[in-house]
Amino acid sequence: MRGVLLMISLAGFALPSSEVPAQVPPLPDGALTHWVVDQPEEIITYLTFDPASVERRVPPALRFITVKELAEGGVPWATEYLTEHPSHGQWGISFFEIVRMRTFDIDGRTPDWPEHGAAALWCARVTASDPASDLGPGQALLALEFWMPDRGYAAYMREKGHYAEYGDVRLREDPKGRWWGAVNVDGLSVVAECIPSGAITGGAGSAGMQAIFPPLSSIVTDFVRVAFAGHRVQECAGDSSWRFHGSHPLANAVVVGSSLFEYGYDLIGGAYPR
């Protein structure tokens, strides 16, 4: 259950139980592109990180939400975390996922996936630097990294206003139901494994929306708003693991709580001008 609570507080997904089929919320008018994801399968871990390690990636209009803020707001895991890491009050909170999809389509074009090809995404919780500013509907996230294993498609995404870079990303399921993920890019190697275990939560009643902003260091200036419904979620068993190595800021992040396996949802999105 802790992993699901982390997902709600970090990633913003709503996961009530319901027999009514989930409906993807409508996106606001004005999207410059049309993005469709169908039948994804993904493994996710949640991390805290030192904001100083990525400070050059934060647009002036945004700031990271901190562990201290969540603890002061009564989020149990954040309070427990600060007891173990009292110097991390100003650290940011984030999630990292490796995801493969039956459909990934932006304006009619799909990637050329290699064998077991997948995408990897590192997103941090953010809010407006100016409390009077309105970032619009959906939980605000900063895409610190988005890696695709197709160089041409990553370039196409940037042209369309969707932040992405090339990276060797793989995700596969072995015959025993264990999921294996790997990411290899300059300065970072990630190896992950997840054995989905226990009750399946979410499903019919789950739906939400997010606004994903590009990092300041990117040539992309548009942001992406996504809406989704139908998440099915299982925690990864206790012997599942994530290993980060290298000089990249992710290598020094701290894994928090249980990892998750998610699947079966529908997602739409689009780029919006800032």
Q: What is the pTM for the complete model shown? A: 0.91
- Distances in Å between the alpha carbon of 90 and those of 11, 17, 75, 78? 18, 34, 15, 12
E strands present in the chain:
35-49, 62-64, 92-106, 119-128, 139-148, 165-166, 168-173, 179-185, 188-194, 196-202, 207-213, 223-229, 232-236, 241-246, 254-263, 266-272
Q: What is the mean pLDDT of residues 118-143?
A: 95
Q: What is the mean pLDDT of residues 231-256?
A: 94
Least confident of 1-10, 50-59, 81-90, 173-182: 1-10
| Domain ranges across the chain | 2-272
57-66 pLDDT tens trace: 999 999 999 9
Q: What is the mean pLDDT of residues 209-230?
A: 94
- Distances in Å between the alpha carbon of 206 and those of 35, 150, 227, 228? 20, 31, 11, 8
Give the integer Cα–Cα distance in Å for 5 and 244: 24
pLDDT band at 204 (very low <50, low <70, confident <90, very high): low
| Closest by Cα among 13, 2, 78, 12 to 254 | 78
Least confident of 61-65, 183-187, 217-221: 217-221
What's the CA dihedral at 243, 223, 142, 210 to 10 degrees?
-90
Please determine, for residue 166, whether its predicted confidence score (pLDDT) is greater than 80.
yes
Predicted local confidence at residue 15, as pLDDT = 41
Predicted local confidence at residue 268, as pLDDT = 96
CATH match for 2-272 among 3.30.200.20, 2.40.400.10, 3.30.70.980, 3.30.565.10: 2.40.400.10
| Closest by Cα among 101, 99, 69, 61 to 214 | 61
